[in-house]
Structure 1
Amino acid sequence: MRVSIAGAGAVGRSIAAELLENGHEVLLIDKAPTAISVERVPMAEWLLADACEITSLDEAALQRCNVVIAATGDDKVNLVVSLLAKTEYGVPRVVARVNNPKNEWLFNESWGVDVAVSTPRLMSALVEEAVSVGDLVRLLRFSHGDANLVELTLPPESALAGTRVGDVAWPEDTSLVTIIRGTRVLTPSTEETLEAGDELLFVAAQAREEQLEDLLSVRNDPDAEPTPRPRASED
C-alpha cells in the first residue's frame, strides 16, 4: 500500500515509521525545509513542497496513493489537502488530523475526509472508557457513512448479562465488532453469552447510539431476571 502524509512533524514522522515497519510505501510532504529530516525516517520518500498546491500533489503522484493522511498542525491545511486528495486525485481513503475540537464538525465527506482523528477527543474518550461502566463512549468517528466506533462496558445490572449475542435484537445500522473480556479478545458469535464487565465495541450509526445505550443499560427492576430481547422480525 502506498501512503502519502502531509506534514512531516513529530506526528507525521511517527505515523510514517509505523507504516514503514508494516511494509508500506510512505511519502512525507512538508513545505518547511527544517521539517525535512531524512535521517529520522530514512526508509521514507521525502518531498519539500506545499501540499495545498496542485503542482506539488502532481509531483507527489497522489493518484497512485491508496491512502492520504493530512497530519499537519493546521486544520485549514488538513481540510484543503483532504479535499484535493479526494476530488482531484480520487484517493480511496483520506484520514485527517483534527487539531482543534471546535473544527471537528468540518471534517466530513464534504471536505473529502473519510476518517477524522481528533487527539483531544480520543484522549478524553480513552479516559472515559477506562472509568465508565454502563455509559456509551465514542472512540472514533468515521466521517464516511456517519458511523462511529463506540464502546460500552456491560454493567452487572444490565438486562443483557447472561444473554446470547444471537438473541439480542440489535438496532439497525449497528454491528458488534468484538468483545473484550479480561485479557481475551473475542470475535462475537451468535452463541457467545454476554457477561457483566464485558467491553463491547460497536460500529454504529450516530442516530442509533441512544437506542444502543438504552438496550445495554441497567434494568428498571434490579430483582428481575434477565430476559433475552426478541429478535427483529425476518419479514
Structure 2
Amino acid sequence: MAITGAGAVGRSIARELIGNGHAVLLIDKDARAVKPERVPDAEWLLADSCELSSLEEARLDRCDVVIAATGDDKVNLVTSLLAKTEFGVPRTVARVNHPNNEWLFTEAWGVDVNVSTPRIMSALVEEAVTVGDLVRLFTFRQGNANLVEMTLPAESPYVGKPTGLIPFPENCALVTILRDGQVYVPDPEQPVEAGDELLFVVPAEGEDALEHLLAPDAHPG
C-alpha cells in the first residue's frame, strides 16, 4: 500500500501497518520529509502525489490501498481521485484536516473512507464525558452506516437484561461491549450492565431510535 504525506501522521501509520506485516511505500514531495531512517522498513519516494507521472512511478496500480495523509486537504482529495479513477485502487482512505471540508471527501472524489481528525478528537472527548448519549465515532461511506458508542446509564430499562432480549432497531448491530477494561464479544445470553460502553453499527436514521431505546429518561419522545 502507499501513503502520501511522510509527516508525523504518515510515518505513524506506516510503522503500524509495517508492524502488522504490510508492505508500505511513503511518498512526499518535500525532500526534507524524506528521511528513510525514520521508517527504515518502508520504501520511500520523493514525488508529488498530485502528478500523474509520480503516481505511475509509484506503481499505484499494484496497491490495494492508498492513504492520503498530508496536511493539505486539496492534495488528499486530488490524490484519492487519481488513485481511484486512473489506477483503479480498490480502497482509498483520506485524512480530513479542516472540518469545513469534510463534505467534499466522498466517493465522488474517489474517497472510500474519510478520517476527520477534528471529528475524532471531539468524539473521543464526548465519549469520555457523556453517559446515555450516542456518540458517533466513524462513518462508513459505502454502507451508509455509522459506528456509534453509548455508555449505558444506570436508569436504562435494559440494565441486567440479556442482549438477545433487547429489541434493537432494524439493521442495528451491537459489535462490542467494553467493561472494566475488557472487550466482550456480544452473546445473546450476556446481560448488559450500567457503565458498559456499547459499540454499534447503525444506519444514521436508526440512531435516534437506538438512543431512545437504551436511555428513554434522557431522550423522551
TM-score normalized by the length of structure 2: 0.94
Q: Which deviates more from structure 2 when the two are superposed, residues 107-116 or residues 94-103?
A: 107-116
Is 1:141 matched with 2:139? yes
Aligned residue-pair number: 218
User: Which residue of 44, 53, 56 corresponds with 1:55?
Assistant: 53
SS of 1:55's equivalent in the other structure is helix
TM alignment of 1:154-233, pairs within 5 A: 154-219=152-217
- Is the contact between residue 113 and residue 144 of structure 1 (CA under 8 Å) also seen in structure 2? no
Query: What residue number does 2:8 align with?
Result: 10
SS of 1:56's equivalent in the other structure is helix
SS of 1:14's equivalent in the other structure is helix
Q: How many angstroms apart in 2 are the aligned matches of 1:179 and 1:147?
A: 19
Is 1:106 matched with 2:114? no
What displacement does 1:86 show? 1.8
Q: How many angstroms apart in 2 are the aligned matches of 1:114 and 1:173?
A: 21
Q: Which deviates more from structure 2 when the two are superposed, residues 185-194 or residues 204-213?
A: 204-213
- Is the contact between residue 65 and residue 91 of structure 1 (CA under 8 Å) also seen in structure 2? yes
User: Which residue of 79, 87, 90 corresponds with 2:88?
Assistant: 90
Deviation digits for residues 40-70 of structure 1, max 9, x if unmatched? Answer: 1111111111111221111111121111100
- Is the contact between residue 107 and residue 143 of structure 1 (CA under 8 Å) also seen in structure 2? no
SS of 2:133's equivalent in the other structure is coil
Q: How many angstroms apart in 2 are the aligned matches of 1:24 and 1:168?
A: 40
Instruction: Give the letter for the 1:203 counterpart.
Output: V
Deviation digits for residues 68-87 of structure 1, max 9, x if unmatched? Answer: 10000110111111112122
Q: How many angstroms apart in 2 are the aligned matches of 1:211 and 1:217?
A: 10
Deviation digits for residues 163-189 of structure 1, max 9, x if unmatched? Answer: 211112222232111001112210001
What are the ranges of 5 or more consecutive residues in structure 2 without an aligned counterpart?
none
Query: What residue number does 2:123 align with?
Result: 125
CA RMSD of aligned residues (A): 1.4
SS of 1:104's equivalent in the other structure is helix
Q: Share of identical aligned residues, percent?
A: 66
What displacement does 1:219 show? 4.3
Instruction: Give the letter for the 1:94 counterpart.
Output: T
What displacement does 1:133 show? 0.3
What are the ranges of 5 or more consecutive residues in structure 1 without an aligned counterpart?
221-235
Q: How many angstroms apart in 1 are the aligned matches of 2:51 and 2:144?
A: 29
Q: How many angstroms apart in 1 are the aligned matches of 2:67 and 2:133?
A: 31
Q: Which runs of 4+ in 1 moved over 3 A?
A: none
What displacement does 1:211 show? 1.5
TM-score normalized by the length of structure 1: 0.88
What displacement does 1:144 show? 2.0
Query: What residue number does 1:223 align with?
Result: none
SS of 1:76's equivalent in the other structure is helix
SS of 1:35's equivalent in the other structure is coil
Q: How many angstroms apart in 1 are the aligned matches of 2:212 and 2:111?
A: 30
Q: How many angstroms apart in 2 are the aligned matches of 1:184 and 1:13?
A: 29
Is 1:19 matched with 2:17? yes
Instruction: Give the letter for the 1:84 counterpart.
Output: L
